[in-house]
Amino acid sequence: MTLRPGDPAPDFTLQDTHGTPVHLADLHGEPVLIVFYPFAFSGICTGELCELRDNIEDFETAGVRLLAVSTDSVFTLKAWQQQEGFSFDLLSDFWPHGGRSPGPTASSTSRTVTRCAARSSSTPTASSAGAW
């Protein structure tokens, strides 16, 4: 599935590292950045998510909720979250592998895709939070 700016973000329900379901529809109206990455514990993905971790205050200040989605199991994500100290939600799209992941990176506000990219480095601000 290819998403373009302006497309509705498809609803999904995925488990977090505690096995708790997270429903995108429950976040309706809340600025949300959804980051899709392939593998926990890999060098590139660890570096990218550590960059998000190290700048989490920027997201919090802008009121943006960060969701990171991979095809790893809940158990793998929990171990990785504890090892790296991630305070944001890691969601498991384990089975079918990648069944909910629309592409490498998507971000949404009010369930409308406002930006899609294969790789992106952006820091949200209070004034740009609506663009997420």
Q: Would you name the residues annotated as active-site residues?
A: 45
Q: What is the DSSP string of 7-61?
A: SBPPP-EEE-TTS-EEEGGGGTTSEEEEEE-S-TT-HHHHHHHHHHHHTHHHHHH
Find out whether 60 and 30 touch, Cβ atoms under 8 Å.
Answer: no
Q: What is the DSSP string of 63-132?
A: TPEEEEEESS-HHHHHHHHHHHT--SEEEE-TTTTTSS--SSEEEEETTEEEEE-SS------TTTGGG-
Rounded Cα distance between 86 and 70, Å, is: 14
